[in-house]
Chains A and B, each alone.
Chain A
Amino acid sequence: MKKNYKIYADCANCASQMEVEANKTDGVKNAVVNFMTLKMQVEFEDGVEPKEVMERVRENCKKIEDDCEIYLK
């Protein structure tokens, strides 16, 4: 399953770090962060609850970069 999330990132480097962190998070099969459109496209592993996974992704991103946000719908 693939979902798109709006994000905020301060700079391209932060965005690419968010991508690394998101990909490291359990339940995420593949994540692509697009700094230009400020979007994160996440492909989830089978049978996970996207909401829970995204909470973890957000936490992990916050850890490496204070100045970022993922808007969970």
Chain B
Amino acid sequence: MNKKQKKNLMRIIIAAVLMIALNFVQVEGWAKFFLYMVPYLIVGYDILLKAAHGIKNLRAFDESFLMTVATLGAIALGLYRTGDYTEAVAVMLFYQVGEWFQSYAIDKSRKNISDLMDIRPDFANIESAGKIEQVDPDEVEIGTIIIVQPGEKIPIDGVIVEGNSTLDTAALTGESLPRNVQIGSEVISGCVNLNGVLKIKTTKDFEESTASKILDLVENASSRKSKSENFITKFARIYTPAVVTAALVLAFVPSLITGDFETWIYRALLFLIISCPCALVISIPLTFFAGLGRASREGVLVKGSNYLETLSQIKTVVMDKTGTLTRGIFDVDAVHSEEIKPEQLLHWTAHVERYSTHPIATTLKKAYPHEDDDCKVEQVEELAGLGVKAVVNGKILHVGNEKLMDKVGAAWHPCHRDGTIIHVAIDGKYAAHVIVADMLKPNSHKAIESLIAVGVKRIVMLTGDLKKVAARIAGELGLTEFHSELLPAQKVEHLEKILQEKNSGKVAFVGDGINDAPVLARADIGIAMGAMGSDAAIEAADVVLMDDDPLKISKAIQIAKKTLAIVKENIYFAIGVKFLCLGLGAVGIANMWFAIFADVGVMILAVLNALRVLLKI
């Protein structure tokens, strides 16, 4: 509870106690009026001031105005006829109770959700003159050695140079199993160091580090508003003036005809109280916010409420293979060489791939661990969808697929082995091929099944890989539709074809590589693998899976569906109850208590319903 909430709670309690006490006081006339005005003003003075402020600035039609008119009207009726002020004070009192509850609930959920995403590191330890010193992580330069004690968060991305430990990555990835790290391990900021002291050499600036980037994404996420949110904003803008006009008509037209001013003015006041749009205005953004928070707790970053909306309507999922369905970690299976020794060939290919981040490059580098020697590597050129070209010790090397071989005119030949074949040409002449194989991620099979379970109608696999490999993977996963040997541009073409087909519905694309960025951007929803994915892919995507687990795709869809279902419930429920009560109020069936329920009660129910998103599915 903040200061303001405490103060308002006190006002509510004092006014409520006074009201109860006044029930036992027997006074009439002006004395009664003044006595009742005390709790009225205690609980409602700020509303009256706000309403006055609004009128002064010609912006009259807001909640404060509605409540002011309604309660002042009820007081006037009391003065003029009934001599009863209980209703006027009660309306103000309950309105404030509702406001208080709303502000409390929002504060609470704001805090809950930001706690979930509590990955912001506050300081970095650096060693200077033999002493450990705490500094602002912003000031730490790349290449600095930082020290992370057990229990502390890693502030900046880097590589471990001393010590080993286990890391809790739950806040980043939703993965509850701690990860073991040792010298040489790359670590990302936001993880909590669980046991040993670590010395880490930073590889990025604080601002470019994972934790900062993720926070930035999450904090800006709910700024991208969904259609439902925009609808409600527009709705509220038309709705309030419309209701006030209707209330005026209700107050004066029937009363001029029947001469019964009292009844009709009373009904018009009820109308005003019931009409407050707060249940909608608050619960819809709150639901989306909770949905985004819930998703990030699962390790799924959704970049905006609008994407949550689209995600809930996904009917077709198009998936990349490498790094998405498969682990993207290959191992060299065999080297089929014409003349050169396998050892020598792997030595060269490792050099060619020195700067490449493609999964196959990583494997080739891994196959020759002493890559960092004094060989001269020049003119490295990455050819998207084909391979890599480089000049090593004066020899022109092409390492890549058949298309690359065709391009340089090397007479390649196919291999009988299953797996991905990397061909090598030296000085334009075919030299050898290396066979590497990739494995499915442990959850891929389940991921496909659960996608179908959450209502996805069609799953397509697109890959730059060979047909043979694609067919094997598709077969293992039970996928019937796949397209292989695609260049990045062809992936976009295939996706566009799917987008144009009538019964595709909303289409999601899941991928991880640099070459997937254009496809991610083109799809209705781009889902990127966050841990292994390239920065370009994460940038282009609308949804990022922090732990690269394809099973999270269906989880994200599930959360999106639940969020949207609750949004719909709240819209129908709130508008439905409002209109019902407005109708009942207009024909005289409802009284003030009823009206208060329609306003405050509906709002509280809608907020509670919104918070349901945070519960486990």
> Is B281 in contact with A12, judged by CB distance below 8 angstroms?
yes
A10 within 8 A of B: yes
B507 within 8 A of A: no
> Is B50 in contact with A66, judged by CB distance below 8 angstroms?
yes
Residues of B within 8 A of A16 (CB): 233, 236, 281
CA distance in complex: A32, B225 (Å): 9
B446 within 8 A of A: no
Residues of B within 8 A of A11 (CB): 63, 99, 102-103, 278, 281-282
CA distance in complex: A35, B281 (Å): 11
Contact with A along B204-234 (1 / 0, CB 8 A): 0000000000000001101111000000010
> Is A37 in contact with B222, judged by CB distance below 8 angstroms?
yes
CA distance in complex: A15, B361 (Å): 50
B286 within 8 A of A: yes
Residues of A within 8 A of B57 (CB): 63-64
Chain A binding surface SS class: mixed
A55 within 8 A of B: no
> Is B233 in contact with A36, judged by CB distance below 8 angstroms?
no
What's the minimum C-beta distance from B368 to chain A, rounded to whole angstroms?
Answer: 45
Residues of A within 8 A of B102 (CB): 11
> Is A34 in contact with B99, judged by CB distance below 8 angstroms?
no
Answer whether A13 and B281 are a contact pair too, CB < 8 Å, given A39-B223, A64-B57, A64-B59: yes
Residues of B within 8 A of A12 (CB): 278, 281-282, 285
Which A residue sits closest to B99, measured CB to CB? A11
Interface centre among A4, A12, A16, A63, by most chain B C-beta atoms within 10 angstroms, is A12
What's the minimum C-beta distance from A55 to chain B, rounded to whole angstroms?
Answer: 19
Residues of A within 8 A of B288 (CB): 36
> Is B219 in contact with A36, judged by CB distance below 8 angstroms?
no
Q: Which of A15-66 contact B (CB under 8 A)?
A: 16-17, 32, 34-39, 41, 63-66
What's the minimum C-beta distance from A37 to chain B, rounded to whole angstroms?
Answer: 6
Can you report 29 residue pairs joining A to B where beta carbons are below 8 Å apart? Answer: A4-B219, A11-B63, A11-B99, A11-B282, A12-B278, A12-B281, A13-B62, A13-B277, A16-B233, A17-B59, A32-B223, A34-B223, A35-B285, A36-B106, A36-B285, A36-B289, A37-B219, A37-B222, A37-B223, A37-B289, A38-B110, A39-B220, A41-B220, A63-B57, A64-B57, A65-B50, A66-B49, A66-B53, A67-B46
Which B residue sits closest to A13, measured CB to CB? B281
Answer whether A36 and B278 are a contact pair too, CB < 8 Å, given A63-B57, A66-B53: no
Contact with A along B264-308 (1 / 0, CB 8 A): 000000000000011001100110110000000000000000000
Other than the given A36-B288, A36-B289, 12 more pairs (CB < 8 A) read A11-B281, A13-B236, A16-B233, A32-B225, A36-B106, A36-B285, A37-B110, A37-B289, A65-B50, A65-B53, A66-B49, A67-B46
Residues of B within 8 A of A38 (CB): 110
CA distance in complex: A65, B228 (Å): 25
What's the minimum C-beta distance from B115 to chain A, rounded to whole angstroms?
Answer: 14
Interface centre among B46, B281, B289, by most chain A C-beta atoms within 10 angstroms, is B281
Which A residue sits closest to B284, measured CB to CB? A12
What's the minimum C-beta distance from B9 to chain A, rounded to whole angstroms?
Answer: 15
What's the minimum C-beta distance from A69 to chain B, rounded to whole angstroms?
Answer: 12
Residues of A within 8 A of B236 (CB): 13, 16
Residues of B within 8 A of A4 (CB): 219-220
Which of B99, B223, B281 makes the CB contact (< 8 A) with A41?
A: B223
Residues of A within 8 A of B219 (CB): 4, 37, 39
Which A residue sits closest to B290, measured CB to CB? A36
CA distance in complex: A41, B219 (Å): 11
CA distance in complex: A37, B215 (Å): 12
What's the minimum C-beta distance from A24 to chain B, rounded to whole angstroms?
Answer: 12
Q: Which of B91-106 contact A (CB under 8 A)?
A: 99, 102-103, 106
What's the minimum C-beta distance from A59 to chain B, rounded to whole angstroms?
Answer: 12
CA distance in complex: A48, B286 (Å): 34
CA distance in complex: A13, B279 (Å): 11
Which A residue sits closest to B216, measured CB to CB? A4
List of 9 A-B pairs having minimum Cβ-Cβ separation, nearest first: A36-B289, A32-B223, A34-B223, A12-B281, A12-B282, A36-B222, A13-B281, A16-B233, A34-B222
